[in-house]
Amino acid sequence: MADRPIGITMGDPAGIGPEIVARLLAAPLPAPCVVYGDAARLRAAARLAGVTAVPGAVELVQVGAVPEDLPFGTVAARAGAASHAYVLRAIDDALAGRLRAVVTAPISKAAWHAAGIGWPGHTELLAARSGAAEVSMMMANEELRVVLVSIHVALAEAVRAVTPAAELRAIRHAHAAARRFGVAQPRIAVAGLNPHAGEEGKFGREEIEVIAPAIAAARAEGIDASGPWPGDTVFARARAGAFDAVVAQYHDQGLIPVKYLGIDAGVNVTLGLPFVRTSPDHGTAFDIAGTGQARAGSMQAALRMAVALAAA
């Protein structure tokens, strides 16, 4: 596997994806890489960023062509269609065994919608295209690993998504991910859904009727899972070393603690796929796209994590 490259998708060509990929290529790479995107757009982004990286520095798979008049910093259907095509090609190459991992630069969900693409984000597309029955999103940095029960849904729907099966899936994925990070006996903390983890049923019964039974089922499988713990303290405890990973009940409950520790350090990992997939923990940043101001720290962290997870 070590001789296979890491696939990197360019992301939305109107966002900061081309720039952070160009910056990534300008620095020493931890592994051979192949970029899926548009060579002309990468060269333009490199000029804007003031870096000398060109697509010739690594292999580039040209997927379609981005119109020269496509402006940076705008939601555009043609940009959404292009970024979608990059991801599809990378997924197919990963499934065919030509890649050891995939790192995806940010896409615009609004641009996908404008292009008629119904997926709410990368994670759902990756799962469907690869035939993965159960996937979870993990956000990770050097201090926290957080696995989500639900992902890109409205908060009201996220509450309904708290089911025994979803809880157990997330706990299993958190355990397996921590093992892959080198933790021999992972300690998995499960956050409560309600304030104070429900306060013994005073603020809701999801902790009693759904979350606690799923924790018990995980423990019966030999997983060191505990909780439900109050969501306002469990992440600080994990950061201090009490737990190796946290299962969060919904998107913002889990992502806010990770992102608060630094956008440049966070990495999005899709668990449950037949290949490793990582991504930076930020979006397209249309407000600074095309200005040369984008930083590639999170993209570099995503590449390093992809290499490490693929080796594990």
Predicted local distance difference test score (pLDDT) of residue 258:
93
Predicted local distance difference test score (pLDDT) of residue 17:
96
Tell whether domain 1-133+268-312 is in CATH 3.90.550.10.
no
Give the closest residue to 108 by CA, choosing from 136, 65, 74.
74
Q: Cα separation of 306 and 312, whole Å?
A: 10
Tell whether domain 142-261 is in CATH 3.40.718.10.
yes
Predicted local distance difference test score (pLDDT) of residue 173:
96
Q: In the sheet that 276-280 helps form, which strands lie side by side, from edge to edge?
A: 59-62, 33-37, 6-9, 101-104, 276-280, 267-271, 136-140, 145-148, 245-248, 187-191, 224-229
Q: Parallel, antiparallel, or unpaired for β 101-104 and 59-62?
A: unpaired
* pTM for this predicted structure: 0.90
Partner residues linked to 103 by β-bridges: 8, 278
Asked whether the bond before 228 is cis by omega within 30 degrees of 0, the reply is yes
Same fold, 1-133+268-312 and 142-261: yes
Predicted local distance difference test score (pLDDT) of residue 262:
81
Contacts of 160 (CB under 8 A, 6+ apart): none
Predicted local distance difference test score (pLDDT) of residue 266:
86
Predicted local distance difference test score (pLDDT) of residue 281:
86
Tens-place pLDDT, residues 122-170: 988 999 999 998 999 999 999 999 999 998 889 999 999 999 999 999 9
Predicted local distance difference test score (pLDDT) of residue 1:
57
Cα 42 to Cα 45, 174, 293: the distances in Å are 5, 36, 15
Residues of the chain with pLDDT under 50: none
Predicted local distance difference test score (pLDDT) of residue 2:
64
- Give domain limits for the chain: 1-133+268-312, 142-261
